[in-house]
Amino acid sequence: MQDNLSTTFAALADPTRRAMLAKLSQGEANVSDLAQPFLKEMSLPAVTKHLKVLEKAGLITKTREAQWRPCKINAEALKDAADWMEQYRVFWEESFDRLDEYLKTVTGNKKKKGKTNVRKK
Amino acid sequence: MQDNLSTTFAALADPTRRAMLAKLSQGEANVSDLAQPFLKEMSLPAVTKHLKVLEKAGLITKTREAQWRPCKINAEALKDAADWMEQYRVFWEESFDRLDEYLKTVTGNKKKKGKTNVRKK
DNA sequence: TTGTTAATTAACTACTTAGTTAAGTATAAG
DNA sequence: CTTATACTTAACTAAGTAGTTAATTAACAA
What is the share, in percent, of chain B residues with pLDDT greater than 90? 71
**Which alpha helices (DSSP H) does chain B contain, by range?**
4-12, 15-24, 31-35, 44-56, 76-86, 89-93, 96-107
Give A65 to chain B, closest Cα distance, Å. 6
Write out chain B residues lying below 8 Å of A25, CB-based: 87-88, 91
Over residues B9-53, the pLDDT tens digits come to 999 999 999 999 999 999 999 999 999 999 999 999 999 999 999
pLDDT of residue B68 exceeding 60: yes
Give the per-residue pLDDT at A117: 37
pLDDT score recorded for residue B101: 62
- Quote the radius of gyration of chain A (alpha carbons, Å): 21
pLDDT of residue B112: 37
CA distance B23 to chain A (A): 11
| φ, ψ (nearest 5 deg) of residue A93 | -95, -35
Q: Give contacts of A65 with chain B, Cβ < 8 Å.
A: 110, 113, 117
Handedness of CA B109, B114, B117, B120 (dihedral sign): positive
Q: What are A84-109's pLDDT values in tens digits?
A: 999 999 988 865 555 566 666 666 54
Torsion of the alpha carbons at A48, A54, A60 and A65, rounded to the nearest 10? 10
User: What is the pTM (predicted TM-score) of this model?
Assistant: 0.83
Give every CB contact of residue A107 below 8 A, 6+ residues apart in sequence.
B26, B27, B28
pLDDT at B93: 84
Contact A78 B91 (CB under 8 A): yes
